[in-house]
Amino acid sequence: MRMYDVIAKKRDGGTLSREELAFAVNGFVSGQVPDYQMSALLMAIYLKGMTGEETAQLTDLMAHSGKMADLSSIQGVKVDKHSTGGVGDKTTLVVAPVAAACGVKVAKMSGRGLGHTGGTVDKMEAVPGTRIALSEQEFFDQVNRLGIAVVGQSSEMAPADRKMYALRDVTATVESIPLIASSIMSKKLASGSDCILLDVTVGTGAFMKTVPRAVELARLMVEIGCRNGRKVAALITDMDTPLGSCIGNSLEVAESMEVLKGCGPEDLTQVCCQLATNMLMLAGKGGEAECLAMVKRVLADGSAFRLCKEMFHAQSGDVRVLDDPRCFAPAQYQYDVCSPSDGFICKTDAEKIGIASMLLGAGRLKKEDSIDYAAGIRMYKKQGAAVRRGERLATFYTNDPARFAAAEETFLQGFSFGDEKPEQLKLIYARVTQSGVEYF
Ligand code: URA
């Protein structure tokens, strides 16, 4: 077989066989297929698409390119949750302890943030001392003992995805539904959980810009997971506007603790309750009303918050910052951004606001960049709010004041103002399961 012929077949709109996909993926991981040929294949896939069967085969090959986690020594139903990425998206820090407090096992491997989107592992590391690399035995023991561990994705898992994603990132081939689906699901299948709840975000701050595209991606990922014997469902959630009020690592940890303590922002609390409810439903804990009641109970009685602290403590984190966010090392500099107009805020563009936060030092432009955990944005006004010219929209935090000007310019580009109150955005648009799509 020649890589040239595999590329040409896809370029001409053909359907690749498992053998042809295996030749490309395994050859790329072993170094026999060079970057330029894999790049050409990725672009051909981007342009011509893939069938469901081809995408499932590609996912399986990518998952098996490295270690497949065997979670059989953890007793009980293991539930995972994955977000396709967002701004201010700190839901894992809430829903993982909530689900575990309701009696399911959460053995979760998470990623880092890149560009305008954040990552759970960075947020965890904002809690001083937290270890995100546990040995396999420590990981299993902690999940058996506490019901929860959240660690960084092992470099041994799905190496094909890591190499392919690095190429996609520089060849304008990220925004392809079969490539995103196979990338995400290869890692989820390799991580070994029985049930997987996908949070497929839609809007300016997400990969998917429209609800139909998000539903298409969700359907494909649900199909791939189910074909591989996992229980999978997806919620389509809004990412036109940042979730919650805070963006930036320690700010987001503090805000997630507010949700766990029952005093978090309404939008974040609602999305977290729905995600946790759907995780429990997948795990067979009951119907929707029953699962939602369990979620509300562990939030109200403080057991989810206590479990979150136990998890951080077990992973060597300094839990004083979870009790009292004033224990976080503060940013040396802060700056208030004020409204340039009177009126209603018609838009708070998640992508622009995510980039502004990254410019303050909260995120990475390149993988190698370091993060300022104290940097970020606290928003006081979001889409739908009425404001007066000169009124405070947000506070910026950073340890490098030279960053304020560019961040403010980008942040304000994300706002538009009008005379009429805009229609309130939905927080959750749809649920996708094996049996179909339910729109809300
Ligand atoms: N997240 C991933 O892990 N892969 C993609 O391709 C896109 C988002």
**pLDDT digits over 337-354, tens only?**
999 999 999 999 999 999
Ligand 1 touching residue 148 (CB < 6 A)? no
- Residue 330 confidence (pLDDT) above 90: yes
What is the 161 CA–ligand 1 centroid distance (Å)?
9
Ligand 1 touching residue 62 (CB < 6 A)? no
- Residue 112 confidence (pLDDT) above 90: no
Ligand 1 touching residue 110 (CB < 6 A)? no
Residue 421 pLDDT level (bands cut at 50, 70, 90):
very high
CA distances to 10, 11, 37 from 7, in Å? 5, 6, 8
The token duo for 203 is 């809007």
CA gap 361, 373 in Å, rounded: 8
Which one of 55, 83, 207 would you pick to mutate in the ligand 1 pocket, going by the greatest count of ligand atoms within 8 A of its CB?
207
What is the C-alpha R_g of the chain?
Answer: 21
Q: For the whole prediction, is pTM greater than 0.85?
A: yes
Taking only the tens place, the pLDDT of each residue in 387-417 is 999 999 999 999 999 999 999 999 999 999 9
User: Lowest mean pLDDT: which of 30-44, 154-168, 243-257?
Assistant: 154-168
Q: Say how many C-beta atoms besides its own lie within 10 A of residue 440's C-beta.
A: 11
The per-residue pLDDT for 351 is 95
CA gap 305, 357 in Å, rounded: 27
Catalytic residues: 82, 161, 168, 183, 187
Ligand 1 touching residue 153 (CB < 6 A)? no
What is the 309 CA–ligand 1 centroid distance (Å)?
29
User: Lowest mean pLDDT: which of 82-96, 276-290, 323-337?
Assistant: 82-96
Q: Say how many C-beta atoms besides its own lie within 10 A of residue 118's C-beta.
A: 31
Which one of 42, 45, 58, 84 would you pick to mutate in the ligand 1 pocket, going by the greatest count of ligand atoms within 8 A of its CB?
84
Classify strands 386-387 and 436-439 as parallel, antiparallel or unpaired: unpaired
Taking only the tens place, the pLDDT of each residue in 182-222 is 999 999 999 999 999 999 999 999 989 999 999 999 999 99
The per-residue pLDDT for 47 is 98
The per-residue pLDDT for 115 is 72
The per-residue pLDDT for 365 is 78
Hey, whose CA ends up nearest to atom 7 of ligand 1?
180
CA gap 206, 350 in Å, rounded: 8
Classify strands 392-398 and 333-338 as parallel, antiparallel or unpaired: antiparallel
The per-residue pLDDT for 117 is 78
What is the 269 CA–ligand 1 centroid distance (Å)?
25
Ligand 1 touching residue 134 (CB < 6 A)? no
The ligand 1 atom at the shortest distance from the C-alpha of residue 174 is 6
**Tokens 């209603």 — which residue?**
344
What are the E-state strand segments in 139-257?
A: 148-152, 195-202, 231-238, 246-247
What is the 390 CA–ligand 1 centroid distance (Å)?
39
- Residue 116 confidence (pLDDT) above 80: no
The token duo for 39 is 């790049």
Contact 426, 238 (CB under 8 A): yes
Ligand 1 touching residue 84 (CB < 6 A)? yes
Hey, whose CA ends up nearest to atom 3 of ligand 1?
184
Strands of 343-348's sheet, edge to edge? 386-387, 343-348, 415-418
What is the 175 CA–ligand 1 centroid distance (Å)?
9
Phi, psi dihedrals of residue 276, rounded to the nearest 5°: -65, -40
The per-residue pLDDT for 151 is 94
Which one of 89, 170, 184 would you pick to mutate in the ligand 1 pocket, going by the greatest count of ligand atoms within 8 A of its CB?
184
What are the E-state strand segments in 252-327?
A: none
Hey, whose CA ends up nearest to atom 5 of ligand 1?
180
